[in-house]
Amino acid sequence: MPVVEDMTVPFNFHGQLIGQKGKEIRQIMDECGVTVAVPKPEERSDIIQIIGPPSKIDGARKMIEKKLQNLEDERRQRVSIAVAILRLLLLGVKTMVLAFLASFYYSVCQKSAHF
């Protein structure tokens, strides 16, 4: 007998979880044998529902969690790149090169101190 389990997925990730033309969410549903219900955008809800046999819901949950982790990692990487570009623009190339060399020197000193 199917069960319904709620899962918190930040609203801002719903689009990426669904994928282009539903490709990503369909893949999860097909591989796990469940239905995933994502609320309509106007509801702006962070709760999705996984519907299916209890034995299959855990697999779907894990796939969704992995997808969310990948999306979060990509977001962090984009933010890091943006911060680096802003630093470069604000501080200038010479200052960035000096900061990089100082950071590199510090990390080499720290590694050699452990030997």
For residue 65, the domain's CATH number is: 3.30.1370.10
CA distance 62 to 46: 17
Asked if residue 62 is part of any domain, the answer here is: yes
CA geometry: angle at 73 spanning 101 and 58, to 5°?
150
Strand, coil or helix: 19? coil
Neighbouring CB atoms inside 10 A of 87's CB total 13
Range of the domain at 13: 3-89
Per DSSP, 13 falls in state G
Residue 103: what pLDDT?
Answer: 80
Instruction: For residue 80, give the H/E element and its range.
Output: helix 54-91
Asked if residue 97 is part of any domain, the answer here is: no
CA 42, distance to chain mean position in Å, is 22
Residue 27: what pLDDT?
Answer: 96
Asked if residue 104 is part of any domain, the answer here is: no
Per DSSP, what are the bridge partners of residue 37?
Answer: 49
Higher pLDDT, 37 or 104: 37
Asked if residue 114 is part of any domain, the answer here is: no
Asked if residue 8 is part of any domain, the answer here is: yes
Q: What is the pLDDT of residues 18-48, one digit of tens each?
A: 999 999 999 999 999 999 999 999 999 999 9
Asked if residue 24 is part of any domain, the answer here is: yes
Residue 112: what pLDDT?
Answer: 52
pTM listed for this prediction = 0.68
Q: Are 34 and 51 in contact (CB under 8 A)?
A: yes
Asked if residue 83 is part of any domain, the answer here is: yes
Number of domains in the chain: 1
